[in-house]
Amino acid sequence: MEQQITKALPTMIEKATDPQLKQAFQTHLDESQGHVAKVEGLLKQFGKDETITCKVLSALVSEAEDGIKDAADDAVRDVTLIAAAQEVEHHEIAVYGTLRTWAGLLGDTAQADVLESILKEEKHADVLLTGIASRINTTAETRDYATAQ
């Protein structure tokens, strides 16, 4: 899942036009590369090093690609990118929240702490995107309204 995200984010950085959004994606790409390393570390503890494609992520990335193609202008494309990114964050929050809870129930506090640290960054990224969305959505709506007149 994290590997798929680190592959998708460079395109999202490239396609985003709002500077704050571009920066938020860049920051989260750096964080996501850290998530790859942390998850690989956890898997190694179980002697696992193979990766499995996350079907949810594949679907979300495919939808995001459609949204980028279909966007009428830059503001609408930015809004679409935020929506796609927040869907990804919400999926990650669900996955890491579940895994953190399972690790806690199994009494593995070290692993629960690693998962919690990732979860915090996913939640922070989501909050940041909500803040940017509240500003950019207004621009996109205004433009859409103006076009419709």
Copy the structure tokens of residue 86: 């927040």
Q: How far is the CB of 105 from Fe ion (least distance, A)?
A: 22
Task: Give whichever of 78 and 92 is closer to Fe ion, judged by the CB atom.
Answer: 92
Q: How many whole angstroms separate alpha carbon 64 and alpha carbon 99? A: 26
CA 138 – CA 18 distance, rounded (Å)? 13
Q: Which is nearer to Fe ion, 75 or 118 (CB)?
A: 118
Least distance from C-beta 88 to Fe ion, angstroms?
Answer: 6
List b or e across 27-56, with b for residues whose CB sees 16 or more CB atoms inside 10 angstroms.
ebbebbeebeebbeebeeeeeeeeeeebee
State in angstroms the smallest separation of the CB of 121 from Fe ion. 7
Binding residues for Fe ion, per CB under 5 A?
Answer: 32, 35, 92, 122
Of residues 72 and 94, the one with the C-beta less far from Fe ion: 94
Q: How far is the CB of 141 from Fe ion (least distance, A)?
A: 26
Dihedral angle computed from the Cα positions of residues 137, 138, 143 and 145, in that order, rounded to the nearest 10 degrees: 110
**Is 18 or 92 the residue whose CB approaches Fe ion more closely?**
92
